[in-house]
Structure 1
Amino acid sequence: MHKLSLLGFLWLAFFGISYAADSAFISIPTCQTRQLITPTTSDSGLNITSTRGEVFCTAKDFKADAAESSRLISELKARLSGRTIQDLRLSAFYFSSPEVARWICVQHYTSDAKLTIFNQTSTGREHLSPEFTAAMESCPIIPRFLEVGCNVFGGDEANDAAANDSETAVCRRGRVNILHTKLVWMRLDNNQVVMAAGSGNFSRSLYANIEDWIVFQRPIGSSLERQLYCIFDTLYENAGVPELAVSYVASLYRGCVSSWGASAGEENIRFSMLPSDDDSYRDTIVKTITSASELTIVPQLLTEPAIINALNQTSAKVRIILDDDYYWALKKQERVGVISYQEALPLATLLAKPGVEVRYLQTNHKGDDAFTNTLHTRLIFAKSQEKAVVITGSPHLKAGSFRLNFENVAVLSDVAMTNSYQSDLDQLWSRGIPEPDMPTQDIPVVRQ
C-alpha cells in the first residue's frame, strides 16, 4: 500500500473511501501496414515493400471519437464513474482536440464547480485552437482560460525558429520560457482527487503519438496530491505575468510543497515541477544511469551533455528507442520531422558504442496523407540489483527544458508501475527496426 499523509489516512478511515489502482502506461497506436510507393532495400539485404512496426499512422487509422476512446481518457472515465466534479484543472502546450473539449463538457459538475484551462501564451501559433474553444462553449460551466509563459512564438521567423531551442529562445535570459506541463487535476464530490501527468497534449497526440501517462487517485491533502496541486498553484500565480525569473518560480513551487509538508511525496512515487534554479533533476538522471545495470532510453529529443556523457561511460546494457526521424536526420544531415541534424548529432557517438542497442520506430514524421505522428515520450527506465526506476514527464532531455520551461516530472520505483512500463517498453522495442534493417531510402508511403 502507498504511504499517504496523515490527513489522507483520516479521510480514508472516516469515509471508508477506496481509490482505483494507480496506472502507468505508454500509449502505443496500432495502425495499418501500408505499401511503399517504390520498394527499397536495407543495408542488411532485406527487400522492403511496406511500413513496419504498425506505428506509421494516417488519419484513416482513426475514428472520429479516437481522442475520447484513448487510453488516457478511458482511465479518467473509470475513476469518474458516478461522481460529480467540484474543480477541474488542465494544463498542456496544445489544446486542439474538440473531442476532448466535448468530453470535458459532458461531465457532471457541482453547482459551484470551477473549470480552469492553463495554456501557453502565444499569438503566432494556435496553442488553443478555435475548434477546441468552440466545443468548450457547450460546457455547463464557464471555463477560465489562463495564459502562462513567455510569448516566444509571437515574433518573426527568426524568433519562431529560436523558440524550438529553449537555450536560445527569445525570452530574456534567466526568465521562464514556455508552459510545457501536461497535467489533469480533478477534485470530486467525495474529497478524492483524480490526477494524470504525462508527456502528451490534448490534441491528436492522445491517440496518434507514442506518449506515456501516469493516472492516479488520492484523498485531498495527501502528499502526492499536494505535489500536483502546487504545480497548478504555481501556474496560477504566474498566469498573465510574462518573463518571470526562474529563481522566483522555483521558489514558489518549493514554498507551496513545503507549506503542505509534501516535499517527500510517497515512498515510491514523487512528482515535482521545473524550472529549477539548480541541476537536481539532471543530477538525479545521471545518478540513476550511473547505478543501473540495464537501461532503456526513449526520448523524443536528447541533447543534455551530462546525460549523454553518463550513457557513454556506463557499463550497463543500454537500449535506445528513437523515432526514425533521428535516423534520417543523421543520414541526410538535415532536419527531418521534428529533429534537426544539429539536435541528432550529440547522440551519434553513443549510438555507435559497443553494448548500446538502438531501434527506430517508423512513424509518419513526413506528414504523408497530410497527417503526422511521432514518438513523444521523454522516458528513462533503469534497472539495478535493488529495484527498477522510471524517470519521466513532460521535459525534453535538454538543459533548456530543465532550466527554462514549466514542466512536470516524476520519479517512480513503485513495483506495479515499473512493471507496467517494462511491459510496454518491451512491446515498443519489438516494433522497432534495428539500424541495419532500416530502408536505404526515405520513400513516401502515400502520394500527397
Structure 2
Amino acid sequence: MIEQQRILTTAIPGPRSRELQSRKTAAVAAGVGTGLPVYVTDGAGGIIRDVDGNQLIDLGSGIAVTTVGNGNQRVVDAVTEQIARFTHTCFMVTPYEPYLGVCEKLNALTPGDHEKRSALFNSGAEAVENAVKIARHATGRQAVVVFEHGYHGRTNLTMGMTAKNMPYKHRFGPFAPEVYRVPMAYPYRWAGGPERCAEEALRTVTDLIHAQVGEENTAAVVIEPIQGEGGFIVPPEGFLPGLAEYCREHGIVFVADEVQSGFCRTGDWFASDHEGVVPDLITTAKGIAGGMPLAAVTGRADLMDAVHGGGLGGTYGGNPVACAAALASIESMEADDLAGRARGIGKILGDRLGSLAEKHPEIGEVRGRGAMVAMELVTDPATKEPAAALAAAVNKGCHDRGVVTLTCGTYGNVFRFLPPLSVGDDLLHEAMDVLEESMDAALA
C-alpha cells in the first residue's frame, strides 16, 4: 500500500519521466496527447507514484474511471483469479457466467423497476453508438437529437454527436448524418437567467425538435444528466423529467449517457436517480470496472430485444477479466457505501471551492454533485467571458505542486474534480490548499 502522502522528490515532471516522454514522442502518434507527462508506476487510494518517486494527489481518477481506487483489493483478487482461469473466448462464441452477472447487476441497479436487458461493450463511445443502433432499429426512425456542450465519444457517429470541435472533431469529418443539436439547459449562461432556464430550455428544445426534425422522425434524444467534457453542466431541476416525459409522449427513446456520471460518482448510483428520471436506455462505462475496459447499454427489455440475433456484440465486448473487475467494483460500491462517500467528498469540495470563490471573483460558478464537481473561471463575473488562459495557468500550477487536475468545458475554462472515492479527507484538503496557492500565484 502506498503511503497516502504527497511527496515531491524532483521537479514535475522529473528526469526519468522526461526521458520516457522523449521515447513517447519518437514512438507514439502525435495525436495521442498527454496532459501531465509523469509516468506512473503505482497507485492506491488518492495517490499515484511516478518513476521519479514523486507521489501526486489524484483528483482525476483517470477521468472518472478508478472510482473504487487503484489497487482496490476486491478488484485485484477478482482479476487475478479470473486471469488465471481464462482471459478470452468471445461471449458470442462460447459464453461465460461473469458476463451474465454484470448484466444482472446492471438490470437491478439502473433506474426503474421495469424488465430490462443489458449488452456489454468496450468503451463509452461504443456503448453510445450501440444505444443509437438499438433506438433506430426499435423505432424504425433515423434522427438523433443531442445537446450543445455534449460529449459522447471519438467514433465517427459519436464525434458527430459531440459538440466540441477542438480537439475532438477538427478535420475528421464528414460525420454520420441525421444528428441534430439543440441548446443545453445551462443555468449559468442561460440568457433569461438561471431561474427561467428549466422552462425556457425545455420549450426551446421541444419546439426545435417539432419544427426542424419532427417527432415522428426522431429515434432518440441522447443527453448526459450532468455533462462531462462540456463543463460539468448541471441542468436545472425539472428539465430532465420534462424532457423524458416529452420523449415518452412521442415514442422517442430517451437515452441517458451516464458514462462519466454513473456508478456512485454523483452521490447516487446514477445521476438520473437525483430527480427520479427513468431512461429508456442508459449507457455506462468508466467507473464500472475499476480501470478495466468495459461498457454497457441497459434498457427496456422490449427495446433491447428488438434487435435481431447477432445485431449486437463485438469480439472483446464483456471480456471475462473486465467482467470480474466490474463485479468486484460493484461489490465495493455496495459494501463501502461509496455513494455516501461521494456525497461527503462533494461537501468538502463544495465548501472549499465556495470559500475560494469568495476570495477570487474569477470563479464564476461552482457546480456539480457528489464527487463530480467543477468551477468555471471567467475574466469578468459581469460579462462571464471564459478565462481559458487562467484555467491553463492554474492547472499547470497544480501539476507543478504535485496534484493531478483536469480542465474541461467547451471554452476550456472549467476545472473538473473527479477524485477516487477512496481518497482521504486530509488529501482532499491538501489538494484544495494547493489549488488555492496555484490560483493566488496565477492571479498575482
- TM-score (norm. length: structure 1): 0.27
More helix by share: 2
- TM-score (norm. length: structure 2): 0.28
